[in-house]
Amino acid sequence: MACVRKRRGKWVADYRDPTGRRHWESFDTRKEAEAAVAGHTVAIRKGSYVAPNDQRTVQDAYDSWLRLSVEGADNKTGQPLRPTTRALYSMTWRLHVAPTWAAAKLRTVDAEQVVQWQQNLLVENGPKTVLNAVQILGALFRHARRFRWISHNPVEDVRKPKYKAKVRALTPDEIAALIANADVDTSLFVRIGASSGLRFGELAGLKWADVDLEKGIVSVRQQFTHGAWAELKTDNARRRVPLARELVRELRLHKLRTPGDLVFPASDGSPLDYFNWRNRVWLPLLKAAGVDGTFHMLRHSYATALIQAGESAKTVQTLVGHHSAAFTMDQYADVWPEQLERAGEIAARVLFASRGSKTVAVAGEAPRKGA
C-alpha cells in the first residue's frame, strides 16, 4: 500500500511498482511526496509507470534494440534486417553515437543536450551522416520508452537536419573522359554501369551465371555491399537489363580473362569492396579525367539518357528497379547543361512555327494594334 512518511528529516513516498518491487523517494515537503505517490498510482493504473530511479544507459538500450529489432524480427518487416542495414547501423553507432551517449543514463538525457550534440556533429560531418546518427539515437529512446524504461523521448523535441538525396547525371563528355583514362577492365566496368544502371553492389555481386551472352541480358539477383552478400532491397530490384551489342562482345573477351564465378572480381578473386575500389581506382580515375562525381552518378546518367530519349517512365522504372514511376521521374529526370542551352531554339521552333499565330508575335515584328 502506498503511503507518505517522514524519515530522517525528509518526506518519503513509499510504494510498489507493477512488479511488486518496493520504491522509496525522498522529498523536502509532504506535498511533493504526496504528489509523487498520486502520480505513480495513476501511472500504474494506466499502465504507463516508469521507475524514476532506473539506471539503464543508452548502451543498454542499444544492446536490447540490436538484439530484438535489428538482429531479431521485432520491427516493421517482421524479420531480421538486411546485413547491409545492420552494417550501416553498427558503423553509425560506433563512430558517431556511442562516443557521446553510450554511458549516459537514459533518464538523464534531455533535448538540449541532443541539440548541442547534433550541432557539434554538423561541424565535421555532412547532414546525411548526422541525420543517420540522430535517427539511431531516436530509435533507441523509442525502444526504451516502449518497454517503460523512460517516459519521454528527448529526440522527438529536436529539429533534425534537412537532407534530400539529389545527385546529378554525369554528362556524355564526362563519361567519355573517364573511359579514356581507365584501364581495360575499369573501362568496361564503367561502361556497363553507365549503360545498365546497375548499382555498384549489384555489379560487384554479378556472376557469370546471371549474364546471358547469347541474348545480351543481365539478370540482377543479388548484391555484394558493406563487405557482405545481401538480398536485393525490394522485389522490384530483381530485374532483367539488356546490354548494348558492343558491350556483349567485350564481355565475351572479358570472360576469357576472368574465368571465375564473378564478372568483376577483385585481384584476389573475391568480390569488390566498394571503399577499397573507390580509394584505389575511382578517385585516381576522377583526378586523371578531370571529373568530379560518384560512381552512383552513372546510374543517374543511365536513367536520364533513357528519359531524354523518350522512353516511358514505366520502362525506366522497371529497368532501374524502382518501386514507382513517379519516384523514378522525381529522382532521375535530370537534364544536361547543353540541353538547357538548346531550350530557347526548341521553344521558338514550336511556338513560331506558324507565322500567322496570334498568340506569339513573329520575331522582330511589332505586335499589331488589336492583336
Does 1 or 266 have the greater pLDDT score?
Answer: 266
Pair 180, 289: CB distance under 8 Å: yes
Chain segment 207-222, per-residue pLDDT in tens: 999 999 999 999 999 9
233 and 150: one domain? no
Chain segment 292-329, per-residue pLDDT in tens: 999 999 998 998 888 888 788 888 888 888 888 787 77
Chain segment 228-246, per-residue pLDDT in tens: 887 787 788 899 999 999 9
For position 362, what pLDDT does the model report?
38
> Which residues have CB under 8 Å from 140's CB, separation 6+?
58, 61, 62, 65
188 and 310: one domain? yes
For position 350, what pLDDT does the model report?
62
For position 90, what pLDDT does the model report?
94
178 and 311: one domain? yes
Cα–Cα distance between 230 and 82 in angstroms, integer?
A: 7
For position 20, what pLDDT does the model report?
78
The verdict on residue 167 lying in a domain is no
Pair 334, 300: CB distance under 8 Å: yes
Pair 322, 209: CB distance under 8 Å: no
218 and 256: one domain? yes
For position 309, what pLDDT does the model report?
81
The verdict on residue 296 lying in a domain is yes
DSSP code for 78: S
Pair 159, 123: CB distance under 8 Å: no
Cα–Cα distance between 32 and 37 in angstroms, integer?
A: 9
Least confidently predicted of 42-56, 153-167, 239-253: 42-56
Pair 316, 332: CB distance under 8 Å: yes
Output the domain CATH number for residue 63.
Answer: 1.10.150.130
Rounded percentage of the chain residues whose pLDDT exceeds 70: 88
90 and 202: one domain? no
Residue whose C-alpha is closest to residue 30's, from 11, 8, 3: 11
Residue whose C-alpha is closest to residue 192's, from 218, 227, 213: 218
Q: Most distant CA pair in the chain: distance in Å?
A: 101
Total domains, the chain: 3
For position 61, what pLDDT does the model report?
97
Give me the DSSP letters along 258-285: --SSBSSB-TTSSBPPHHHHIIIIIHHH
220 and 278: one domain? yes
Cα–Cα distance between 128 and 122 in angstroms, integer?
A: 10
The verdict on residue 276 lying in a domain is yes
As to burial, measured by CB atoms within 10 angstroms (0-12 exposed, 13-18 middle, 19+ buried), residue 346 is exposed
For position 1, what pLDDT does the model report?
66
Cα–Cα distance between 32 and 11 in angstroms, integer?
A: 8
Cα–Cα distance between 212 and 207 in angstroms, integer?
A: 11
183 and 287: one domain? yes
200 and 292: one domain? yes
Chain segment 86-119, per-residue pLDDT in tens: 888 999 999 999 999 999 999 899 999 999 999 9
Cα–Cα distance between 106 and 59 in angstroms, integer?
A: 9
For position 18, what pLDDT does the model report?
76
231 and 325: one domain? yes
> What range defines the domain where residue 244 resides?
172-332
Q: What is the amino acid identity at position 187? A: S
CA atoms within 13 Å, Cβ hemisphere of 61? 31
67 and 40: one domain? no
For position 35, what pLDDT does the model report?
87
For position 324, what pLDDT does the model report?
84
Cα–Cα distance between 336 and 119 in angstroms, integer?
A: 36
Segment 271-294 mean pLDDT:
95
